[in-house]
């Protein structure tokens, strides 16, 4: 995935952005997240453990080919298999499997995500077999009612807060990296992996995020407003980030109506870009495709990540005024 960002506007977020959505008392209470495998799926998971890696790779390769012929593919990298299973196959050094396994390893049971059954990498393709989430994709936020938006903010914020509280690391000099502890691979900072940069501090990381602030044209305009944020980032926690929060990656299990009634929790899918990152990273990535600093989705993002406000402000300043194109 390659992106080109040009200067968007010459103005930052408006004051209206401070009027963010807050969950109201009249909404149905959020139920605890439940993540359980059926007996048949438990048996399948146990059986797969006894198969050699080469056999599993061959099996998933065959299933992927069959899925194309039988119309099981629901995305270019995702196939909905029978028996409530999903196979995701990507040409990457890592994939959803590493992140979903980490959720299980760390016993993060308060985040609603697909449950990993098996994952394997054959050197070229990463295969991840997980449970299928039967429900409705989140519609565009402007199609949701105000109550829906309030509930969605509360649900997603609760899950991310739980994720961060259960995964923040106290290790000194913990690297900023993928789940597999390799160089960050992300379209927002694609040059980091291309150059093989090893990032050992939040300050190093955000100087890569906001490239060019030291250029002569930005030294007296952009840099004075972004530099304090980079310095402030030194104390931000390194946490397990999802890395791709967007409407397209939210599913309402059982349908929108069931979720409105409090019978389900929104499910976070597509963990391909997950990693050990500074806490504000999810907020910045959630607005990567937005061309306006103040719209319904960006206001919701600010409500979901209330501690990330200054980082979002800095990001919009950089995008609008630094004149940096990202290819």
Q: What is the pLDDT of residues 94-124, one digit of tens each?
A: 678 999 999 998 888 899 999 999 999 888 8
Domain 15-28+136-321: which CATH number of 3.90.1200, 2.60.40, 1.10.10, 3.30.70: 3.90.1200
pTM here is 0.89
Q: Which of 309, 314, 289 is nearest to 299 (CA)?
A: 309
Greater confidence (31 vs 311) lies with 311
Residue appearing with tokens 């299973």:
85
Would you place residue 292 in the very low, low, confident or very high pLDDT band (cuts 50, 70, 90)?
confident
Would you place residue 233 in the very low, low, confident or very high pLDDT band (cuts 50, 70, 90)?
very high
Backbone φ/ψ region at 316: left (φ over 0), alpha (ψ -120 to 50), beta: alpha
Instruction: Pinpoint the residues of the chain covered by CATH 3.90.1200.
Output: 15-28+136-321
Q: Rounding to the nearest 10 degrees, give the CA dihedral for residues 98, 104, 105, 106.
A: 110
Instruction: Pinpoint the residues of the chain covered by CATH 3.30.200.
Output: 39-132
Would you place residue 3 in the very low, low, confident or very high pLDDT band (cuts 50, 70, 90)?
very low
The DSSP 8-state label assigned to residue 282 in this structure reads: H
pLDDT for 51-60, tens place per residue? 999 999 999 9
Which CATH architecture best describes the domain 39-132?
Answer: 2-Layer Sandwich (3.30)
- pLDDT at 9 exceeding the cut of 50: no
pLDDT for 191-231, tens place per residue? 999 999 999 899 999 999 999 999 999 999 999 999 999 99
């Amino acid at each position: 995935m390659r992106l080109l960002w040009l200067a968007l506007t010459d103005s930052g977020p408006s004051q209206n952005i401070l009027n963010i959505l807050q969950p109201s008392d009249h909404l149905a209470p959020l139920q605890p997240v439940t993540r359980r495998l059926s007996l048949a799926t438990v048996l399948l998971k146990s059986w797969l453990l006894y198969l050699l890696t080469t056999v599993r790779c061959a099996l998933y390769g065959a299933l992927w080919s069959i899925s194309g012929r039988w119309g099981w593919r629901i995305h270019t990298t995702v196939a909905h298999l029978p028996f409530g299973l999903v196979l995701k196959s990507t040409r990457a050094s890592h994939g959803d499997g590493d992140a979903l396994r980490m959720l299980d390893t760390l016993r993060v049971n308060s985040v609603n995500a697909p449950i990993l059954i098996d994952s394997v990498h054959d050197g070229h393709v990463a295969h991840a077999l997980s449970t299928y989430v039967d429900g409705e994709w989140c519609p565009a936020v402007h199609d949701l009612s105000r109550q829906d938006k309030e509930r969605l903010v509360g649900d997603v914020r609760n899950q991310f807060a739980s994720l961060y509280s259960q995964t923040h690391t106290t290790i000194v000099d913990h690297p900023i990296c993928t789940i597999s502890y390799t160089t960050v691979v992300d379209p927002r900072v694609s040059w980091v992996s291309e150059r093989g940069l090893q990032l050992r501090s939040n300050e190093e990381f955000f100087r890569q995020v906001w490239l060019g602030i030291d250029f002569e044209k930005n030294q007296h305009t952009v840099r004075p407003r972004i530099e304090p944020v980079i310095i402030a980032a030194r104390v931000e926690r390194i946490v397990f980030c999802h890395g791709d929060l967007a409407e397209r990656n939210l599913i309402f299990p059982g349908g929108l109506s069931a979720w409105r009634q409090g019978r389900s929790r929104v499910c976070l899918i597509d963990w391909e870009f997950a990693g050990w990152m500074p806490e504000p990273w999810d907020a910045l990535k959630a607005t990567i495709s937005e061309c306006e600093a103040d719209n319904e989705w960006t206001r919701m993002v600010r409500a979901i990540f209330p501690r990330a406000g200054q980082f979002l402000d800095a990001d919009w300043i950089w995008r609008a005024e630094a004149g940096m194109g990202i290819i």
